[in-house]
C-alpha cells in the first residue's frame, strides 16, 4: 500500500482509516452475498439492514426519539437550500435567516428565488463574516429560523445555538454534524452534506421533526417533498446505496471506537486547541476568525504574505500534509480537522508549522 497523507481537506474530506479498511475487506463479497454492496438491490434485505442501521445509529448518537425522521437525499446540502423553503415556509409568514457566510448566503438566495418574504435577522457580513452574531431578536411570526452551525470557509462556528422560542430552528450542519452532542428538540430540520463529517459525497442526511411534515404543500414535485422520503424510508427511488453504506460504517466507528459524541467533542476540542494555541503563540501565523467564534472544524489562518502562504502549502504537501489551501474565494490557509482527522495528524501539522515558522519566519 502507498503511504497515506495527513489529510486536511475541507470536503470531500478524510474518512476514518478503520472504515476504509472495512470497506476494502468486504468490497468483493458483502457479508456472503457474493457481490459488492454497490451491486445489490436497494430492495434487498442486505440493503434494508444497511439503511436501517444508519438511521438507528443516527438517532442513537443524537439522542433522538421517534419524533424525528432520518432521510437520505441526493443533491448534497445545496439542494436543501431550496427544499427547505419549498416545504417548510408557512403561507403568508416570513422565513428568517442568519447570514454567517457563503453557505448561508446561498441558502438565502434560494428562498428569495421562490419569492418568499425573507428576513435576514442577523448577519456578520459587516466584518467579513469573521464572527457569529449575538443579541438579535427572533420574532414568533417566522416560519422557521435558518442558520449555518459551522462556516466551513471563514472558520467560524456557533458555540451555542440561537434561541428561537417556538420558532423551529433549521440548520445547515454540513461541516460540524456529529462533531459534538446537540439538544435536538428546538430543531425542525437539520441537514448535512455527507462529505465533511460522515461519509463520501453524493447525498445529504436530512433530519426532520415529525410535525414539520404537516407543512408540506400538496403541489410540490414528488422528488422535492420531504414526505416522499419519510414515507418510503428514503427508498422511493434508488438512493446513493454506497454512500449510505459508508455513512453507516462511519457512525458505527463513531459509536463503537470513539465512544459517541461527547468523546468525539473532547478529541475535536483538543485538536483545535493545539492549532489555535500555536497560532496565538506565534507572531507569524494569524487566525482570521474572532476568538469567541472560532471553529473546531476549520482552522483558518494567514501568513505574513501570499508568497509565504504558497510556499507553506507547497512545502506541507511535500511532507505529506495535504489540503491546506484556503477556499478559493478567500485565500489564505485552512486546516479542516473533522472527526476523521486524527490527533496524530494534527500534531504532525503543528510540528510542521513550528518548523516552517522557525526557518521562514
Among 123, 143, 156, 175, binds ligand PLP (CB under 6 A): 175
Nearest to 179 by CA among 169, 190, 168, 165: 190
Residue 207: CB minimum distance to ligand PLP, A: 15
Candidates 60-68, 73-81, 112-120, 207-215: pick the segment binding ligand PLP (CB under 6 A).
73-81
Min separation Cβ 78 and ligand PLP, Å: 3
62 vs 194, which CB is nearer to ligand PLP?
A: 194
55 within 8 A of 252, measured Cβ to Cβ: no
Distance separating alpha carbons of residues 56 and 215, to the nearest angstrom: 25
193 binds ligand PLP (CB under 6 A): yes
Cβ-proximal residue to ligand PLP, closest one: 76
* 261-280 positions binding ligand PLP, by CB under 6 A: none
Tell me the backbone φ, ψ of residue 194, rounded to 5 degrees.
Answer: -70, -25
Given a contact cutoff of 8 angstroms between Cβ atoms, the answer to whether 67 and 188 are in contact is: no
Residue 78 found at the interface with ligand PLP (CB under 6 A): yes
Under 8 Å between Cβ of 56 and 69: no
The one catalytic residue among 172, 253, 271, 325: 172
Kindly write out the interface string for residues 135-174 of this chain, putting x where it contacts ligand PLP by CB under 6 A and - elsewhere: -------------x---x-------------------x-x
> In terms of Cα–Cα distance, which of 324, 329, 280, 286 is closest to 305?
286
- Which of 19, 30, 62, 76 is the binder for ligand PLP (CB under 6 A)? 76
Q: Which three cell numbers stand for residue 220?
A: 410540490
DSSP3 helix / strand / coil % (the chain, rounded to 5)? 40, 15, 45
Least Å distance, CB 104 to ligand PLP, is 8
Q: Looking at 70-78, 226-234, 254-262, 325-333, which segment touches ligand PLP (CB under 6 A)?
A: 70-78
What is the Cα Rg of the chain in Å? 21
Binding window for ligand PLP (CB under 6 A); candidates: 71-79, 86-94, 260-268, 319-327: 71-79
Active-site annotation holds for 172: yes
295 touches ligand PLP (CB under 6 A): no
What is the secondary structure of 108-171 as a DSSP string? HHHHHHTT--EEEEEE-GGGTT-S---S----TT-S-EEEESEETTTTEE-SSPPP-TTSPEEE
Smallest distance, Å, CB 250 to ligand PLP? Answer: 16
Closer by beta carbon to ligand PLP, 7 or else 152: 152
CB of 71 to ligand PLP, least distance (A): 15
Is 323 a residue that touches ligand PLP (CB under 6 A)? no
Alpha-carbon distance of 174 to 102, in angstroms, equals 13
Task: Select from 57, 116, 146, 196 the one that contacts ligand PLP (CB under 6 A).
Answer: 196
d(CA 109, CA 298) in angstroms, rounded, equals 24
Of 58 and 80, the one with the shorter C-beta distance to ligand PLP is: 80
Minimum CB distance to ligand PLP smaller for 250 or for 353: 250
- Buried/exposed code over 187-215 (b: 16+ C-beta within 10 A; e: otherwise): bbbbbbbbbbbbbbebbbbbbbbeebbeb
Q: What is the largest CA-CA distance in the chain?
A: 64
> Quick check: is 126 catalytic?
no
Of 103, 154, 158, 325, which is the active-site residue?
103
Question: Given the rule CB under 6 A, which residues bind ligand PLP?
Answer: 11, 76-78, 103, 148, 152, 172, 174-175, 193, 196
Catalytic center residues:
103, 172, 196
Amino acid at each position: 500500500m502507498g503511504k497515506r497523507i495527513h489529510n486536511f481537506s475541507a470536503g470531500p474530506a478524510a474518512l476514518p482509516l478503520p472504515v476504509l479498511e472495512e470497506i476494502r475487506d468486504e468490497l468483493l463479497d458483502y457479508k456472503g452475498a457474493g457481490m459488492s454492496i454497490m451491486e445489490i438491490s436497494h430492495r434487498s434485505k442486505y440493503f434494508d439492514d444497511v439503511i436501517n442501521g444508519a438511521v438507528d445509529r443516527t438517532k442513537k448518537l443524537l439522542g433522538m426519539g421517534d419524533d424525528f425522521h432520518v432521510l437520505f437525499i441526493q443533491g448534497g446540502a445545496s439542494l436543501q437550500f431550496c427544499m427547505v423553503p419549498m416545504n417548510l415556509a408557512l403561507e403568508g409568514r416570513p422565513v428568517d435567516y442568519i447570514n454567517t457566510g457563503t453557505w448561508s448566503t446561498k441558502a438565502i438566495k434560494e428562498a428569495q428565488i421562490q419569492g418568499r418574504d425573507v428576513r435576514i435577522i442577523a448577519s456578520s457580513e459587516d466584518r467579513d463574516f469573521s464572527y457569529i452574531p449575538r443579541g438579535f431578536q427572533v420574532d414568533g411570526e417566522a416560519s422557521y429560523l435558518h442558520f449555518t452551525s459551522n462556516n466551513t470557509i471563514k472558520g467560524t462556528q456557533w458555540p451555542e445555538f440561537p434561541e428561537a422560542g417556538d420558532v423551529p430552528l433549521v440548520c445547515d450542519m454540513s461541516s460540524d454534524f456529529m462533531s459534538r452532542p446537540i439538544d435536538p428538540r428546538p430543531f425542525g430540520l437539520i441537514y448535512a452534506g455527507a462529505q465533511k463529517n460522515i461519509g463520501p459525497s453524493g447525498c445529504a442526511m436530512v433530519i426532520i421533526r415529525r410535525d414539520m411534515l404537516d407543512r408540506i404543500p400538496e403541489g410540490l414535485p414528488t422528488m422535492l417533498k420531504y414526505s416522499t422520503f419519510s414515507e418510503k424510508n428514503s427508498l422511493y427511488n434508488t438512493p446513493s446505496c454506497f454512500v449510505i453504506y459508508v455513512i453507516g460504517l462511519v457512525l458505527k466507528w463513531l459509536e463503537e471506537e470513539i465512544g459517541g459524541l461527547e468523546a468525539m467533542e473532547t478529541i475535536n476540542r483538543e485538536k483545535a486547541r493545539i492549532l489555535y494555541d500555536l497560532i496565538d503563540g506565534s507572531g507569524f501565523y494569524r487566525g482570521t476568525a474572532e476568538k469567541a467564534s472560532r471553529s473546531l472544524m476549520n482552522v483558518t489562518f494567514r501568513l505574513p504574505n501570499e508568497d509565504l502562504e504558497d510556499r507553506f502549502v507547497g512545502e506541507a504537501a511535500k511532507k505529506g500534509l495535504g489540503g491546506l489551501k484556503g477556499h478559493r474565494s478567500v485565500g489564505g490557509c485552512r486546516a479542516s480537522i473533522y472527526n476523521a482527522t486524527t490527533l496524530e495528524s494534527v500534531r504532525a501539522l503543528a510540528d510542521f508549522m513550528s518548523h516552517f515558522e522557525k526557518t521562514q519566519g
